[in-house]
Structure 1
Amino acid sequence: MAEVMQDYATSEATNEGAADQTATKTMNMIEAINSAMDVMMDRDPDVVIMGEDVGYFGGVFRCTAGLQAKHGKTRVFDTPISECGIVGVAVGMGAYGLRPVPEIQFADYIYPGIDQLISEAARLRYRSAGEFIAPITVRSPFGGGIFGGQTHSQSPESLFTHVSGLKTVIPSTPYDAKGLLISAIEDNDPVIFFEPKRIYNGPFTGYYDRPVEPWSKHAASKVPTGHYRIPLGKANIVRAGEALTILAYGTMVHVAQAVVEANGVDAEVIDLRTLLPLDIETIEASVKKTGRCLIVHEATRTSGFGAELSALVQERCFYHLEAPVERVTGFDTPYPHSLEWAYFPGPIRIGRAIAKIMKD
């Protein structure tokens, strides 16, 4: 295993350098995700894509558009409406030697497949003493932003970070989405890859009289058209600062950054990118430098991933803290339909939390 990890680390460093020399294209997150799967299917004949409407239709959000036409119906195919069946079949395909990339149409629908993910995929390597693996990447859009209500807007990431053997990844930019997805597909362990649908399509143009969000200009970016990796388990410092550390992932990275810049706060904003494995070293170094920590996520507060982050910061940085760790999250209520912008952590609530921390 050590030799395998060393080989991966070497190829990672080489490939990241090579990626800088490749052609780039402006992509939104949907296009970057599509490009990642296309590149991997070109490189590896064992990569297959499966899910509801991913074939001819190209997926409900068009993430798999054109892939069946290019790679064929045996490698990109539709499945019945059975999340348990989708994940279960993917586990068997992975054990057989393939690298399936199943799509769960919305994260809210993933619950019927949880038994397969926890009892089979996450434990297969350990239970078989390494004889079998489950190299599957379960893609799913998560979070709000489309007024989807209670059945199309949930953020269940913390459920999966509790499971040994699963990796949980959440990108915040098109560049990260492609590099992280490629790393996930090439990984020999099962990965839950949540895609924040609120920033799927690039600049947000508003729904129901909502204004254009100030961070939407960052939702499309230059992305290499070829193969490159971003290693799992490595956070990204998207904004350096000295007075406050803000931990976020997905859409909330952009929201937090916009609030900081609007209020002139000298905050360091860290995009976790991977919740498990977690880059605790980057977090610890930042909090020890700033002495203050704010955690922002869209999921409900109780037992959300922010609680784990808060505990880790307290354990590792207690004597460096100048104020209690604060969290700004979704509320402990059913997800609202028409009031989702009140549910999101936004400028008002994040601004109040920053003021409280900086006052202490």
Structure 2
Amino acid sequence: MTAWKKVPAGAIDAALVALAAFDVWWTLEQNAADTAVLVLAVGVLACGALFLRRRFPLTVFALTVLASLVLDIQAASVVALYTVAERSRNRRLLAACAVASAAASSVPLPPSHFAEIHDTWTLVYFGYLLATAAAPVLLGQLIQARRDLSLRLAEVEEAREHERQLHAQAVLARERAQLAREMHDVVAHQVSLIAVRAGALQVAAPDPDTQEAARTIRSLSVGTLDELRHMVTLLRASTGGATELTPQPTLADLHQLVANSAIRSTLTGELPTDITTTAQRTVYRTVQEALTNVRKHAPGATAAVHLFHHDAEFGVMVTNTRASRPPLPLPSSHQGLIGLAERAELLHGSFSAGPLPDGGYRVVLEIPVGTEGP
């Protein structure tokens, strides 16, 4: 069956037309004396119409029935009847076509020939042809059922494959969630204690060397906590897409981030060049999350990213106008802003986000100078 499907449809149609043409030629040879031009034209038309049987099955069948009325042919009508049965689900229509095909071949034309044929023989011949017409109908229905079954099996296999992928993703998500919990509850807790102890030692140490060592330990602990929280966020992600790996983004990447945000946005202001990589990454993630939320929840809005720094603090403010069209109902974990607040807390800064009176939204990150970590 697989090898049969590789045969071009045009080649199959050509072979069937040739078979029907041979059937017409043989019939005309047997009745050469009674052959008329009209009869020949009807036979040729019925054969040629088989090339269009896939697009107009009922029309082609009607032409073959007309040819069967004037010619004792079988091939063209059988092919046309099979095509109708293979493409139609109307059982009453198929029964009517089978009866019409048998009647066209069993009733002699012209009507004067009725007197020459016994009525009983006509009925017997009609019954024989009706049984013969049932064969292409049943074969067409069988091919149709086989095609439907193949499509159904393909759909079932696709559904099973999708179910296997979902199961694998669920197992992976559980493992990642368990690992994230262990890192958050155990490792992050211990590092937090180290940072707290180092801060207390830095305040209570009697000599400058001890204070400097405690400050270094505390700064490294804060940076480690930031990285741990970043890794926990990645582990909790449910998708298997690309993760945020090294090299980590810096302030130098902000211009490209704003330019590639797919929204109308501007970047103004500047930050000190000597702030740490942890602070630069926090500013970058804040802008990234804010622009992502604009795309998701405020389609058509414009955004403004403003970097600022004073003597005591620095940070970024992202504002956007109200949406110009309704947002799409996209899924959301509602963890983005929580993660940004945690990042700001690690740097002893503050984070705020909320709507504006004009329908827009504003996100503000403020980090004290000198406490931004390593």
Shorter-chain TM-score tier? under 0.3
Higher strand share: 1
TM-score (norm 1): 0.22
Name the larger-Rg structure: 2
Which structure is higher in helix share? Answer: 2
* Greater relative CO (CA pairs within 8 A, separation 6+): 1
Provide the TM-score with structure 2 as the length reference.
0.21
